[in-house]
Amino acid sequence: MAVTSDPLIGVLLEDRYRVDAKIATGGMSTVYRGLDVRLDRPVALKVMDARYANDSQFLTRFQREARAVAKLKDPGLVAVYDQGLDGSHPFLVMELVEGGTLRELLRERGPMPPHAAAAVLRPLLGGLATAHRAGLVHRDVKPENVLISDAGEVKLVDFGLVRAVAEAGITSTSVILGTAAYLSPEQVSSGAADARSDVYAVGVLAYELITGTTPFSGDNPLTVAYQRMDNDVPLPSTVIGGVPRQFDEFIAHATARNADERFVDAEEMAEDLDAISNELALPKFRVPAPKNSAQHAAATAFHSRPTDDYRAAPPAPAPPPVPPPAPGVKNPTRQLIRDPQDWQPTPIEDENVEAPSQFAGIDIGEFAWERQRARRSLVFWVLIVLLLTGGVAAAGWMLGSNLGALI
């Protein structure tokens, strides 16, 4: 069966943003690697499904949310550069994060020890806190919306899209499937959401980081969603051994069924996480990007395709190579740290340290030359000493042999 190439590959959206390679497809959008040909800058293009193009209510909300999110500046947030509509394609232009998603990392490595989980949660909460101070709510915090760069940066993406889609009155089974595990009780019961709803989702995410699984499961999204109405999120220590008491309390506080009993927002939750990290003396840790990510596969497909002019839309490429299958999820065991080599905190070496140009005040080149000359001189004098010693010995032998004759 032949694989049909994506018709958007090579298209220049609004005569500025070239679509280069597909990264991932979701229920309401497709994300591409692209290029801003005006600034010669790689970007991520989130192209919404064509069904939204004729929905004026969605487009209005989409533009409004994009403007609001573009004003946010925080290292824990993916920057939004632009938004537009090209024919039947509403799209967002965002910062391109070279790396992968937290979901892909969890699939590769499984549950995290506390210091690794804290390293993921801290920048995530920092980005959410910036949004909450601006009066914005994410509504869809989940591993798929957390990106990890090759440099170890953790960033949250997709602010405002859930609200825009909800107001458009268009639902998607895949969207519900991806969100059900992280919905707060009030989102399930009434659809209402505020900063405390994001706190609940981060609490569920923290539970998953520690245990390797979400707290509720079921045969369908509705079953999963409604379980949290009558059940508390279990303590992680009841699922996997070795979890510090402080993390049990942290997750229980974030996932209280009554919203009034949770952290009021991401900033308060971050302050509690910092206190726990200090109390447990958690080591610094750089979060690794997943190796077999969709983004890496898209980058490989793009860079392996020759183009003469970066402004010219490239021809439709052959289907990108399928990345090797990621190892199966490592099922949680009775112990928290199953594979220490996966999550060992490693010191970050200083790559800017230069080799010294001098030794003992002498240039390295001159020092090496002097050392070689000294070695030659030493060899020369050793030879002279040997020759002199040999001469003296020979003279002594001859003198001794002829001593009788001389007497």
Collect all residues with Cβ–Cβ distance below 8 Å to 190 and sequence separation of at least 6.
none
Q: Where are the domains of the chain?
A: 12-97, 99-289+330-338
| Alpha carbon distance, N-terminus to C-terminus of the chain | 115
Collect all residues with Cβ–Cβ distance below 8 Å to 343 and sequence separation of at least 6.
109, 112, 113, 115, 116, 285, 337
Q: Which CATH superfamily is domain 99-289+330-338 in?
A: Transferase(Phosphotransferase) domain 1 (1.10.510.10)
Beta partners for residue 86, in sequence order:
89
Instruction: Note down pLDDT in tens along the chain; length 407 residues.
Output: 444 578 999 999 999 999 999 999 877 889 999 999 999 999 999 998 888 888 888 888 888 888 988 999 999 999 999 999 998 889 999 999 999 999 999 999 999 999 999 999 999 999 999 999 999 999 999 999 999 999 999 999 987 665 655 555 554 444 444 478 999 999 998 888 999 999 999 999 999 999 999 999 888 888 888 899 999 999 999 999 999 999 999 999 999 999 999 999 999 999 999 999 999 999 999 999 999 998 998 888 887 766 545 455 455 455 555 555 555 555 444 455 545 456 776 554 444 444 444 433 444 455 445 556 656 766 777 778 777 877 777 766 666 666 555 55
Mind listing the pLDDT tens digit for each residue in 251-268?
A: 999 999 999 999 999 999
Alpha helices per DSSP H over 81-220: 102-109, 114-133, 161-168, 173-179, 185-189, 195-211
Name the catalytic one among 140, 158, 198, 265.
140
Rg of the chain taking only CA atoms, in angstroms: 32
Q: What does DSSP assign to residue 22?
A: E
What phi and psi values does residue 18 have, to the nearest 5 degrees?
-85, 130
CA 25 from centre of chain: 19
- 306-309's contacts with Cβ under 8 Å and 24+ in sequence apart are none
What phi and psi values does residue 109 have, to the nearest 5 degrees?
-115, -15
| CATH code of the domain occupying 12-97 | 3.30.200.20
Collect all residues with Cβ–Cβ distance below 8 Å to 385 and sequence separation of at least 6.
none
Please say whether the beta carbons of 332 and 240 come within 8 A: yes
> Is 219 an annotated catalytic residue?
no
DSSP string of 34-83, one letter each residue: EEETTTTEEEEEEEEPGGGTT-HHHHHHHHHHHHHHHT---TTBPPEEEE
